[in-house]
Amino acid sequence: MSAFLDGALRPRLSVTLGVIAFALVEIAALCVFVTPDVVARLEPGVLARNVDDDGAALTHALVTAQREPARSAHVALVGASSMREAFWHIDTLRDSVADALEQPRETTLGAFNLTSGGQALGESLVVLGALPETPRGVVVLGIGPGTLFADRTDLQTRFEHPTSALAVDEMNAVARVLGMPERTATGLYFLDHLQFFVSRPQVPVWLALGAPEPRRHRYLGRRQWTDERWVERVDALRVGFEQRAQDDALVSAHLVALEQTLTHLQRQTQWRPILLEPPLAPRARPALTEARSAARARVAPLAARLGVPLVDLDAEAALVDEDFHDFTHLRSEEAMRRYEARLAALVARHLSEPNPSTVRP
Amino acid sequence: MISPRVARAVGIALQIIVLGQLLVIALGGLYAASAGARVFRYAGF
């Protein structure tokens, strides 16, 4: 026993060299063995720093989607937290779409939830560009003043310090259009996303003990904003949107990047894009209608030119103030299911129509 | 009965693995801090 303790506790030059060698070998092994294939085989929560780590959830959802077995059709939802909270579950949405199309569930229709809290429009476009091949698909992108009117400094931080491991080349392609910083691609997945992985040192613990299930909704069951909160927040939101809308160069760059991505989807894939304005509480409309109209005025001409639907489902889903926690996030399962039903009907309608971009005269 | 030589070697190996792992975690933490790596945290509205 004393010999063991002597070996385990006494400092030695050989131990120092051994520790350095061990660390180098482990880092080399991480560079070689951490690949998208490996990440796709992990449980969804293993990469997550905590149950609300949407960056990890998006990373896992995308690499999993890219490795899904072939199906005859797909649906994908992309956008920020307002989109994430607008539907109950990607599987129930898929089932509703399959039922509307009178197709068997699961076996024919694949569905991907690629929403994440705080997802910038630039990140959404990278996700759209990384969608897997499909014989027929509908992808719904949530877009409104919250994402079109971005804060330049915040966006710069998102490109410099991404919270999800999206492909560096695709990130750089969008960054070039938006005038955002680019990163160096090494071709090694672990090194390309080093910031993402070193921010999540708990991975070995989750692997050993089992990872907690990621939380799907953040606002479920939460109370509505109080009157004081409304007064305090809605005006600040309005002012924020108006200020960010003044950055015409960035808004225009977003529209250029959006057009490139939508055109790519239409011409080179079988994905049919739909632009969806996220839910907006009736109570927030007086203050935020101007911002929403300003965003719509910029997006609608582009959507019309490309033949991409720009849709607002709030009225169809009969959303009322009681359905919302705040100005945009739904707070009850019932409201989410109601909105999801309208969303499923929209997706089913577009899935059942021939894609105009692929119809040849 | 394990010989003292083997017991010492096992002890050294254990020390290398534990300290090596701690070194990797520390290097990762230092890099994350210096690069400003971020994990999005829900802040609420």
DSSP A115-145: E-TT--HHHHHHHHHTPPP-SSEEEEEE-SH
Please indicate if any CB of chain A lies within 8 Å of the CB of B26: no
C-beta of residue A307 within 8 angstroms of C-beta of residue A356: yes
Tell me which of A182-191, A243-252, A285-294, A346-355 is least confident: A346-355
Q: Which tokens sit at B22?
A: 């701690």
Residues 217-246 of A with CB under 8 A from B: 218, 233
Task: Give the gyration radius of chain A's Cα atoms.
Answer: 23
Asked if residue A12 is part of any domain, the answer here is no
Res A1: pLDDT? 79
Q: Comparing C-alpha atoms, which of A220, A227, A213, A171 is closest to residue A195?
A: A171
Please indicate if any CB of chain A lies within 8 Å of the CB of B1: no
Q: Cβ B11–A6 below 8 Å, yes or no?
A: yes
**A209 burial class (0-12, 13-18, 19+ CB within 10 angstroms)?**
exposed
Q: In A161-226, which residue ranges form alpha helices assigned H by DSSP?
A: 168-178, 189-192, 194-198, 203-209
Domain that holds residue A260: 36-352
d(CA A163, CA A171) in angstroms, rounded, equals 12
Strand partners, A83: none
Res B43: pLDDT? 54
d(CA A28, CA A107) in angstroms, rounded, equals 40
Residue A137 pLDDT > 50, yes or no? yes
Asked if residue A23 is part of any domain, the answer here is no
Asked if residue A269 is part of any domain, the answer here is yes
Residue B37 pLDDT > 90, yes or no? no
In this prediction the ipTM stands at 0.90
CATH of the domain at A220: 3.40.50.1110
Determine the distance in angstroms separating the CA of A223 from the nearest CA of chain B, rounded to an integer: 12
Nearest CA in chain B to A16: B16
When the pLDDT of each residue in chain A is averaged and rounded to a whole number, the result is: 94
Residues in chain A closer than 8 A to B25 (CB atoms): 201
Residues in chain B closer than 8 A to A53 (CB atoms): 39-40
Q: Which one-letter amino acid corresponds to residue A261?
A: T
Q: Which residues contact A293 (CB under 8 A, 6 or more apart)?
A: none
Q: Cβ A195–B35 below 8 Å, yes or no?
A: yes
* % residues pLDDT > 70 (chain A): 98
Q: Cβ A15–B8 below 8 Å, yes or no?
A: no
Residue A358 pLDDT > 60, yes or no? no
Asked if residue A358 is part of any domain, the answer here is no
Res A29: pLDDT? 97
- Per-residue pLDDT, averaged over A101-121, amounts to 90
Res A103: pLDDT? 84
A318: left (phi over 0), alpha (psi -120 to 50) or beta: left
d(CA A266, CA A347) in angstroms, rounded, equals 16
Best A5, A9, A14, A15 member to test B by mutation, with max B CBs in 10 Å, is A15
d(CA A115, CA A159) in angstroms, rounded, equals 18
Question: Each residue of A19-68: pLDDT tens digit?
Answer: 999 999 999 999 999 999 999 999 999 999 999 999 999 999 999 999 99
Give, as one character, the DSSP assignment of residue A213: P
Determine the distance in angstroms separating the CA of A109 from the nearest CA of chain B, rounded to an integer: 31
Question: Each residue of A194-251: pLDDT tens digit?
Answer: 999 999 989 999 999 999 999 999 999 999 999 999 988 999 999 999 999 999 999 9
Res A108: pLDDT? 83
Burial A116-139 (b: 16+ CB within 10 A, else e): bbbbbbbbbbbbbbbbbebebbbb
Alpha-carbon distances, residue A176 vs A81, A172, A181, A245, A349 (angstroms): 25, 6, 8, 20, 35
Asked if residue A19 is part of any domain, the answer here is no
Please indicate if any CB of chain B lies within 8 Å of the CB of A201: yes
Asked if residue A192 is part of any domain, the answer here is yes
Determine the distance in angstroms separating the CA of B43 from the nearest CA of chain A, rounded to an integer: 10
Nearest CA in chain A to B2: A1
d(CA A18, CA A5) in angstroms, rounded, equals 17
Res B39: pLDDT? 81
Q: Which residues contact A343 (CB under 8 A, 6 or more apart)?
A: A77, A86, A87, A93, A140, A276, A313
Number of Cβ pairs closer than 8 Å across A and B? 112
Q: Which residues contact A110 (CB under 8 A, 6 or more apart)?
A: A65, A68, A71, A73, A74, A75, A94, A134
Total number of domains in chain A: 1
Residues 107-136 of A with CB under 8 A from B: 116-118
Please indicate if any CB of chain B lies within 8 Å of the CB of A1: yes
Asked if residue A325 is part of any domain, the answer here is yes
Asked if residue A101 is part of any domain, the answer here is yes
Please indicate if any CB of chain B lies within 8 Å of the CB of A212: no
- CA A256 to the chain's CA centroid: 20
Reported as type and span, the H/E element at residue A74 is: strand A73-79
Res A359: pLDDT? 44
- pLDDT-based confidence at residue B1 (cuts at 50, 70, 90): confident
